[in-house]
Amino acid sequence: MPTPMHHPEQRLRIRELTDADAETLLAFEIENREWFESHIEAREPGFYSPQGVSDHIQDYLSRFSTGTWHPFVIEDANARIVGRANLKHIHTPPNAAEVGYRIARDAGGQGLATRALEHLIEQARERWGLTQLIAYVYQENVGSAKVLDRCGFTLAAENENPTGSARRFVRSL
Ligand SMILES: CC(C)(COP(=O)(O)OP(=O)(O)OC[C@H]1O[C@@H](n2cnc3c(N)ncnc32)[C@H](O)[C@@H]1OP(=O)(O)O)[C@@H](O)C(=O)NCCC(=O)NCCS
């Protein structure tokens, strides 16, 4: 087997969101808007503007400073944002948080969401001392359910008779 010329996943890194990310984050969100809206809840239209994204970043960073949110971006070798992953609603106690992630359509299928979720698990355990993570996923989102399964999440018991289309997955740390 010849050695592949490129290892795309090795040219990517996960780092914390910063207030210098507004322009690249807006480009990422606009480019993938339809893709995201077909899998997850749509954002307010006002989000898709320089001011909207700046406000969003300030909101996330202020939540980070108070210890309720931990926002990350995945960037490629050209400093283009290709994904996001967040710990949300961090509560201590009961030492739990929600996970969220989104990957650019053209960067999908390379294991990025899996890597991002593994990073969130590590941060949740080591930085925040959490003991449980939760994810909400629409029934139709087979790719996301696969990522969660691969990272050790299981469908919560109350979903045996789901009433809505969002399913709750949990993982003990
Ligand atoms: C869901 C999402 C996060 C997956 O990101 P990704 O980087 O492509 O994920 P990974 O490559 O780590 O793994 C996805 C797996 O699901 C599989 N998959 C994706 N879509 C699938 C589908 N419709 N049916 C079956 N399997 C599917 C992929 O083949 C891959 O499995 P494999 O590695 O065994 O081939 C990405 O598509 C996304 O951001 N979607 C829009 C936003 C969203 O849904 N976020 C999650 C909300 S809970």
* pLDDT over 80 (residue 49): yes
Kindly state the percentage of the chain with pLDDT values over 90: 85
* pLDDT tens digits along 73-113: 999 999 999 999 999 999 988 999 999 999 999 999 999 99
Please indicate, yes or no, if residue 92 is contained in any of the structural domains: yes
* Domains: count for the chain: 1
Query: What predicted TM-score, i.e. pTM, was given to this entire model?
Result: 0.93
Count, residues in the chain: 173
Rounded to whole angstroms, the Cα distance separating 72 from 121 reads: 13
Please indicate, yes or no, if residue 148 is contained in any of the structural domains: yes
Mean pLDDT for the chain overall? 92
Whole-number Å distance, alpha carbon 162 to ligand 1 midpoint, is 22
Whole-number Å distance, alpha carbon 12 to ligand 1 midpoint, is 17
* pLDDT over 50 (residue 3): no
Please indicate, yes or no, if residue 71 is contained in any of the structural domains: yes
Could you tell me the pLDDT band of residue 1, with boundaries at 50, 70 and 90?
very low
Strand-strand pairing, 96-103 and 81-91: antiparallel
Please indicate, yes or no, if residue 57 is contained in any of the structural domains: yes
Strand-strand pairing, 96-103 and 70-75: unpaired
Give DSSP secondary structure letters for 47-58: GSSHHHHHHHHH
CATH of the domain at 110: 3.40.630.30
Please indicate, yes or no, if residue 59 is contained in any of the structural domains: yes
Atom of ligand 1 lying closest to residue 102 CA: 39
Please indicate, yes or no, if residue 52 is contained in any of the structural domains: yes
Please indicate, yes or no, if residue 3 is contained in any of the structural domains: no
Atom of ligand 1 lying closest to residue 83 CA: 39
* pLDDT over 80 (residue 163): no
Rounded to whole angstroms, the Cα distance separating 3 from 28 reads: 31
State which residues form the domain around 74.
8-172
The order of strands in the sheet holding 70-75 is 13-16, 70-75, 81-91, 96-103, 132-138, 166-172, 154-155
* pLDDT over 70 (residue 119): yes
Please indicate, yes or no, if residue 38 is contained in any of the structural domains: yes
42 ligand 1 Cβ < 6 A: no
